[in-house]
Amino acid sequence: MRKRERELDELRQEQEPPAVSTPQYEWPSKIMLRPRPGATAARIVQLQDPPKQVRPTNVEPPSKVVCNVATQTTELADVGTQTDAAQEITEVTVLKANVPGSIEANSNEAELDAESDSDPSFLDAEVQECQGQEAEEMDLPSCAWPSTPIQRLEEEYARCMRVSQEDLDLEPAIYLQEGSELLSQLRDELAMLPELKDLSPECDISKADVGDPDRTTAAEEKKLRYILTYHRKIFLGDGNAAPAPARGVVSDLDVGDAKPVAQRPRSIAPHIMLKVYELLKKLLETELIEFSVSAWASPIVIVLKKNGVDIWMCIDYRVVNGFNQLSTYPLPLIDDLLIGFESAMWFMSLDMASGFWAIRMTERAKLISAFVCPFGHFQWVRMPFGLKNAPLVYQAVINNCLWGFVRLPAEEEKLVDPDVLEFLGLDRFEQDESEREKAERNVPILTDRITAFKRDIPAPSQMGPVIGRSSYIDDIAHGAPTWDQLCEDLNALLFRLRYWNISVSLPKSEFGKLSIPYLSHEISAEGLRATPKIAKGVQDLPFPKTLKGVQSFLGSLNYYHKFIDDFPVVAAILYELTDEQIRAGRDLSKAKEAFEILKRKIVSTPLLRHPDRTRPFVIIPHANQWAACAVLGQEYDGVIHPVRFTGRVLNDAELRYHVAEKEVVAVMRVLDVFQTLVQNCLVKVFTRHSVLSWLLKSKTADGRCVRWGVILSHWNLEVHKIQRDEDGLPAILGAGITSREHLDEVAESLIPAKGRVKAPPVISMEMLEADFAGYVLSFDGAAKTSTRQGSCGCIIWELPGWKILAAHGFILGDVTVNDAEYYGLLKGLTLASEREIQDLVVVGDSRIVIQQVQGLINCNQPNLQRRLSEVGILKEKFTSMRLVHVKREYNQAADYLTSKTLALGTSWQTEGPEELRHLVQVSKIHEKLMKPLVIMDENTQGVSPQEGLPVETPTGIRPGPESAPLSTAARIMVAVTRSRTQEQPEQGEPMGPLE
């Protein structure tokens, strides 16, 4: 394609205005022609004024353009008005000259005979001779203008194949293969075009799938086939055929004030060109698309199938969908469409034929839907697949057809067959065949303002609901208790479809069956079964190698979670996996075990009974450490059969509930999810605890129990307490319900991290030895939210002996608490660096600051990022730095400095003996930082931080809050601190590992 790009670039440069001014040359007055073989005279053609290169708008382009000058062949072939170029020659002068060989050998030797210019006889003879030999001397081009879109497409196909072959001859081409992964990622954003073998196939009603060979009689099948034959006009023999346009509805695209976006076409491999051409040709033949001059252009995407030969042709409408306003029309819930079959014996399913193509487009929508490819620029006449509002538009059409809200406008109702109007009880328009044909030719061009939904003409009462059910876009399922009722419903439904001119795919529809497939489920009189597409190869499916593969597997199972009774119990451990765990190959034995259990469960899903509101419902809850699930069932012949399964993983607060409370959560989950099924029905609850009965009767409940009791009081509950499953419940459980005891056994081997009981943390082995010799920095910070004034404090301790080398408090302005904590650390590191300390242990009570410096959590706030970078610069000045987080009650010394600085409103330095003694007394860092102490010698005596001032320390005890009586000044200082210094310290969590 590089050659093609160069040609387009040259054409663009020719059309753009020059960057600098260029001289204007006059039109040539004479052209010298090459002499004929054997001639000794040169020929000169004198021309008139230049022709006007304007293409008329209402004139048919000529089939051939004749040019007398070979150098003008390209230009004249492109301009349709230069048909009279030969007539513009007013004078031809032939000057005899002595030419040795030819003009090509020595063109400068041609001598012009001026006198021959005025010889009319000589001029006329030469003109005739020149005109008579035009065809022999020149290869005249022809410009054939196609008269139909098909001919234009064929010429574009020939041109593309010619260009592709030239590119292949010049240089090796590189084509990007849009693999099947693109299809899975952009399935909802691409307008996928189906394989079209025949867009208008004839329909053979005899091939309709009618009845069950073992249950239906010939008379029953004949009756139903007669109905299909009577309405054969709306049936198509292929599900991908082009349907007739539906009446009274049109699709529009609203992009607001967005400017048109024209994307460049994507390259197509030469061996795929023919397939794309054939598909576009069929779409043009059926008038689904047309050539476009729109300012919009979306590219096509070629997706190779798994066999590497066949293709999916799609249109990338991601840009258009980004601008298009989303419709708020609702889609029905799939679970709601799967109920209501409890009394049905015979079933039928109808699939609309290429449903979206039945909806016409407004003129604005046609322009916006335009797409571009190497064959040209096209736009849709009917609604394409891939537009985000397309399913909602079609859902609105089918819903109105099935429920009968509005009727067609008069001009379109004239096109409805008389027998349809008679069946629906509508007024019949009197018209003969000629008027009918005229009306069909003069159907008004629909816009978004004159559709049936904008006119809002109410339908009469006899056009009410047909089958009392909705469809899911283009899929309709219905059941009836008797064969006659099924035929009657089918007849009424087909009449209504004919009224709106909605076509049905005969090969994809089934009539009079004992079971039908519907929305990846199998519906029968017995109940509902799952028919997942992944069940065929799921047995040999290996454990995914990436997190995305695990998520894809779980997403597929979510559609069938109502068939798996303990889905949250088993799947919880898979939801906790991270991509790093899977790629690093860590211990995934439990995850793989859960994966295998789910594979077995999805292959052997149980039969779910249709909910029958005439029978009481049964709820069997089950709860463990991390999940609450339950079974909703009904009793048939003394056996409880499942109707639905549900459950969820508990949140952090619910994890601390008692198991009896978790069962209440499971019961409330069932009542919430299946509210429409069990409302106003008797519900029996089989529970292993008495909490539920107490909630319904207690008058002393408080907290969440009150809320639960109020919610449960609205339901008709009958609670049955069972101690163990052996008491009789297993005997009445159906085959599809797993016993609660077995669920507990499964849970024991699949405990996720969320369900594990947190063991007490092990004391770090990196605590400092009792005889450690080095330096410790403790810091703290504080700030007032109202004034944003803050302070920080830092103390440098020397070990052993816990001598204070420096203790400073600094006042800060316009800071937050985290800013102040960072400033405390920075000030302390600066003081330690000035004393040339190389190894330092840093202790603080700010978990955020400690973990951000350690790199355990991210720092996202810009102001803290600056402080973090300053800490990183200071860390380079130390050989080693270990950081420890402690609770505030152990960091009382730095906390005291910070509080007093904030109260004083100025920076200060601790120097007095009383102050230093107080800092030693209130500090508890050694309790978290040091290993158990060794009893010191009785003669051991503490040394004061300043000038060897002795500190009274009892034998064998380090300085602490009760190691010596406090003076009056010290007792006053204690009151300044923010935390409890005189209270007995609570047992806190052991210190985490040092950095």
Q: Convert the pLDDT of each residue in 473-488 to its tens digit.
A: 989 999 999 999 999 9
The percentage of residues in the chain with a pLDDT greater than 70, rounded to a whole number, is: 69
The DSSP secondary structure of 110-121, one letter per residue, reads ----GGGGG-HH
Q: How far apart are CA 942 and CA 931, in angstroms?
A: 19
- pTM: predicted TM-score of the whole model, two decimal places: 0.60
Q: Are residues 408 and 454 in the same domain?
A: yes
Q: What is the CATH number of the domain that holds 341?
A: 3.30.70.270
Q: Are residues 361 and 405 in the same domain?
A: yes
Q: What is the CATH number of the domain that holds 900?
A: 3.30.420.10
Contact 3, 167 (CB under 8 A): yes
Residue 262: φ, ψ to 5° = -115, 110
Q: Are residues 74 and 210 in the same domain?
A: no
Q: Tokens 């499953």: give the residue.
A: 725
Q: In one letter, which amino acid is 821?
A: E
Cα 26 to Cα 48, 50, 170, distances in angstroms? 12, 10, 39
Q: Are residues 439 and 473 in the same domain?
A: yes
Q: Which domain holds residue 533?
A: 528-759
Residue 27 reports pLDDT greater than 80: no
Instruction: Provide the H-helix boundaries in 520-566.
Output: 547-558
Q: Looking only at Cα atoms, what is the longest distance across the chain?
A: 146
Residue 698: inside a domain, yes or no?
yes
pLDDT band at 181 (very low <50, low <70, confident <90, very high): very low
Last residue of a domain, one of 498, 523, 548: 523
Q: Are residues 312 and 350 in the same domain?
A: yes
Domain count, the chain: 4
Across 151-165, 225-239, 703-717, least confident range: 151-165
- Taking residues 152-179, what's their average pLDDT? 56
Residue 161: inside a domain, yes or no?
no
Cα 564 to Cα 152, 568, 795, distances in angstroms? 57, 9, 61
pLDDT band at 19 (very low <50, low <70, confident <90, very high): low
Last residue of a domain, one of 882, 899, 934: 934
What six digits make up the tokens of 69?
């000058």
First to last CA, the chain: 59
pLDDT digits 0-9 by tens, 250-265:
999 999 999 999 999 9
- Taking residues 613-622, what's their average pLDDT? 93
Q: Are residues 819 and 794 in the same domain?
A: yes
CA atoms within a 13 Å half-sphere pointing along the CA-CB vector of 718? 7
Residue 943: inside a domain, yes or no?
no
504-513 and 346-352 strand pairing: antiparallel
CB atoms within 10 A of CB 922: 25
Residue 275: inside a domain, yes or no?
yes
- List, in order, residues 6 or more apart from 699 with CB less than 8 Å away: none
Q: Are residues 651 and 752 in the same domain?
A: yes
Helices and strands in the chain, H and E counts:
33, 32
pLDDT band at 530 (very low <50, low <70, confident <90, very high): confident
Residue 183: inside a domain, yes or no?
no
Residue 624: inside a domain, yes or no?
yes
What local confidence, expressed as pLDDT, does residue 515 receive? 94
- Taking the CA atoms of residue 670, residue 676, residue 680 and residue 682 in that order, the dihedral angle to the nearest 10 degrees is -40
Q: Are residues 631 and 780 in the same domain?
A: no
Nearest to residue 52, comparing CAs of 82, 76, 25, 78? 82
pLDDT digits 0-9 by tens, 876-896:
899 888 888 888 888 888 998
pLDDT digits 0-9 by tens, 343-384:
999 999 999 887 888 999 999 999 999 999 999 999 999 999
Residue 499: φ, ψ to 5° = -60, -40
Q: How far apart are CA 795 and CA 802, in angstroms?
A: 11
Last residue of a domain, one of 117, 137, 157: 137
Residue 301 reports pLDDT greater than 60: yes
Q: In one letter, which amino acid is 470?
A: S
**What mean pLDDT value characterizes the chain?**
76
Q: Are residues 259 and 406 in the same domain?
A: yes
Contact 488, 423 (CB under 8 A): no
* 309 vs 920, residue with greater confidence: 920
pLDDT digits 0-9 by tens, 680-698:
999 999 988 888 888 888 8
What six digits make up the tokens of 65?
């353009």
Q: Are residues 740 and 817 in the same domain?
A: no
DSSP secondary structure letter of residue 66: -
Residue 494 reports pLDDT greater than 90: yes
Highest mean pLDDT pick, 37-41, 187-191, 200-204, 709-713:
709-713
Q: Are residues 412 and 347 in the same domain?
A: yes
- Taking residues 889-918, what's their average pLDDT? 87
What local confidence, expressed as pLDDT, does residue 975 receive? 39
Q: How far apart are CA 766 and CA 991, in angstroms?
A: 10
Q: Are residues 372 and 237 in the same domain?
A: yes
Residue 426: inside a domain, yes or no?
yes
CB atoms within 10 A of CB 877: 15
Residue 568 reports pLDDT greater than 60: yes
Residue 102: inside a domain, yes or no?
yes
- Taking residues 195-217, what's their average pLDDT? 79
What local confidence, expressed as pLDDT, does residue 435 receive? 52
471 three-state secondary structure: coil
